[in-house]
Amino acid sequence: MLRLRRSIFTRLLSSPSASPISHLHRLLSAVSPSPGLNVEEYLVDRCGLTRAQAIKASAKISHLKSPTNPDAVLSFLAGLGLSTGDVSAVVAKDPKLLCSAVDKTLAPVVTGLAGLGLSRDEIARLVLVARDRIRCRSIVSYLNYYLPIFGSFHNLLRALKFNNSLLGYNLERTVKPNVTFLRECGLHDCDIAKLSIAAPSMLTNNLDRVRATVACAERLGVPRASPMFRHALHALAFDTEDTVAAKLDYLKKTFNWSDAEVAIAVSRAPLVLTRSKATLQGRSDFLMSEVGLEPAYIAHRPAILSYSLEGRLRPRYYVLKFLKENGLLQRERSYFSAVIVTEKVFVDRYICPHKEAAPHLAQDYATACGGQVPTRFRFA
């Protein structure tokens, strides 16, 4: 420090034309700069982040030295109509957004999106789900391609909420070849849009992997022309051949199915392959042991396995059993026909006609749907 002071005064004395005071101020400013931006405090005070969020986010933008650019970004986001809470959420997820140049990046992106027909409100909602992609000009090209496939901004936004990586994969090398192939398989754009929500990897995997998934679906008895084809791709998108084989084996053992019966079940309801072992075991125990359904009956009606055990299968079974035990069914109705109808149809068909003979039936049914078994539904 002593050597530094001597150097300063030596330079002052060697510059008689300059004001000693002003020269001293400039030199001291050079060696003792004013403190920079306290990023963590800025994130808390100006962006509304919690202390924990600010600590995590500040590590990514610690190089910021001035609030000028972050202030401009916050002002820009507010101009789009984002609330204070929305801005906090966006910055917490992507703190580097505060480093973006409004005039060179954010404004051109918004202009491009508006050129595609998006309203300010829609752009604001896109900002909330696009994360770091909103500061890439390529997002305009992505939306220009995706919007016709999804049919509307609403549908596309729904997909991005499930998986915003759709905006990150290379369009030309990955997404477009997959979409072209799926169209060749007979899927319409609306089917592809639904598939991208359920199984986004069908758009983002390499083409060979997508072809392999299609081939696997066909081997399982779900041809491209089948209404179940899209569902089969969804069910198989995340599995290897060994995994699929293991699932088929578990289905056979759990429901006592033959090879032919498991093939029938999967071809009619491919999504049965997405059910967990615990879920399938619970359905098997109830349908076969309590309801008394035969394996072949279930195999030919596999849709029954997709319904909630506690919310539909068990309560509706109790209602049917109660009606039969009390002689209130005018004609024989199958359990499956009672399960597959909508809630409104079920109530109109099985509850409402018996208000006088069984005034507590509606309440008992509601109780059963809540997971309890009313006394009147208990039979020896």
Q: Is residue 275 part of a domain?
A: yes
At 53-90, the pLDDT tens digits run 999 988 999 898 999 999 999 999 999 999 999 999 99
* End position of a domain, from candidates 216, 238, 260: 238
In the chain, what is the straight-line distance between the N-terminal and C-terminal CA atoms, in Å? Answer: 96
Residues sharing a CB contact under 8 Å with residue 243, sequence separation 6 or more, in sequence order: none
CB 216 within 8 A of CB 236: yes
CA dist., res. 312 & res. 338, Å (int) = 10
CB 128 within 8 A of CB 89: yes
Mean pLDDT of 284-303: 96
Average pLDDT, the chain: 88
Tell which residue, 275, 332, 345, has the closest CA to residue 304: 275
- Pairwise pLDDT comparison (338 vs 35), residue with the higher score: 338
Predicted pLDDT at 328: 87
Predicted pLDDT at 371: 86
Residues 321, 367 within the same domain: yes
What is the span of the domain harbouring residue 319? 308-380
CA dist., res. 305 & res. 295, Å (int) = 12
Q: Which amino acid is at 57?
A: A
How many domains are contained in the chain? 4
Mean pLDDT of 354-358: 90
Decide: pTM greater than 0.85: no
- Pairwise pLDDT comparison (44 vs 30), residue with the higher score: 44
Predicted pLDDT at 35: 52
Residues 314, 377 within the same domain: yes
Give me the residue label for tokens 């696997």: 216
pLDDT at 21 over 90: no
Percent of the chain with pLDDT over 70: 90
CB 357 within 8 A of CB 326: yes
Taking the CA atoms of 361, 364, 370 and 372 in sequence, report the sign of the dihedral they define: negative
pLDDT at 29 over 90: no
Predicted pLDDT at 296: 96
Local confidence band at 147 (pLDDT 50, 70, 90 cut-offs): very high
Residues 190, 207 within the same domain: yes
Q: Is residue 353 part of a domain?
A: yes
pLDDT at 105 over 80: yes
Name which of 108-122, 251-265, 274-288, 352-366 the model is least confident about.
352-366
Mean pLDDT of 19-31: 37
Predicted pLDDT at 295: 96
Residues 287, 322 within the same domain: no
Predicted pLDDT at 36: 66
Residues 226, 250 within the same domain: no
CA dist., res. 291 & res. 309, Å (int) = 12
CA dist., res. 331 & res. 70, Å (int) = 72
* End position of a domain, from candidates 220, 238, 256: 238
Q: Is residue 47 part of a domain?
A: no
Q: Is residue 73 part of a domain?
A: no
At 107-135, the pLDDT tens digits run 999 999 999 999 999 999 999 999 899 99
Q: Which amino acid is at 137?
A: R
Q: Is residue 289 part of a domain?
A: yes
At 185-239, the pLDDT tens digits run 999 999 999 999 889 889 999 999 999 999 999 999 999 999 999 999 999 998 9
Taking the CA atoms of 137, 141, 146 and 147 in sequence, report the sign of the dihedral they define: positive
Joined tokens for residue 349: 């068909």
Predicted pLDDT at 243: 95
For residue 237, CA distances in Å to 156, 214, 222, 268 come to 20, 9, 14, 18
Tell which residue, 62, 59, 129, 54, has the closest CA to residue 90: 129
Residues 224, 266 within the same domain: no
Joined tokens for residue 342: 């909508």
* End position of a domain, from candidates 204, 238, 272: 238
- Pairwise pLDDT comparison (209 vs 164), residue with the higher score: 209
pLDDT at 289 over 50: yes
CB 241 within 8 A of CB 230: no
Residues 339, 295 within the same domain: no
CA dist., res. 366 & res. 339, Å (int) = 15
Joined tokens for residue 147: 């919007």
Mean pLDDT of 333-352: 94
Taking the CA atoms of 20, 26, 29 and 32 in sequence, report the sign of the dihedral they define: negative
pLDDT at 2 over 50: no
Q: Is residue 145 part of a domain?
A: no
CB 159 within 8 A of CB 192: no
Predicted pLDDT at 379: 65
